[in-house]
Structure 1
Amino acid sequence: AARLRAAGEAAVARHLQGQVGRAHRVLMETPRMGRTEQFAEVVFAADQPEGQIVEAAITGVSGSQLVAG
């Protein structure tokens, strides 16, 4: 079971890393966190309009979240 969890975590990490450099439409759930159309969490350094869809350039990964620049 531990190997399966590790494999799943590695697959998620590869997927998230593959999003760096791409643009995504993000639905803002809080002023600094939203989700892509694939439900990946995206964090922002500056406030965004809550409840709105914003275009975000993904610049990095922090744990299990994408980082928008």
Structure 2
Amino acid sequence: KHVIKHMCAAIAALGVPQELKTDNGPAYVSQRFARYCALWGIRRTTGIPHSPMRQAIVERAHST
């Protein structure tokens, strides 16, 4: 629920993204979030499970 709430705020401020890249956290792989993204026409891409290198690349890109 919280991810969708924050996505609504982001969409209101920034517009609808074409693609969303996330990790494999429970909030991002849920059916509810999948339906939400489908409703808005957002392509979802998740990281490879248990791939620390891929996660490091994503975090470096986001400066986290």
Normalising TM by the smaller chain, what interval? under 0.3
Higher strand share: 1
Higher helix share: 2
Task: Compute the TM-score of the two structures, normalised by the length of structure 1.
Answer: 0.25
Task: Compute the TM-score of the two structures, normalised by the length of structure 2.
Answer: 0.26
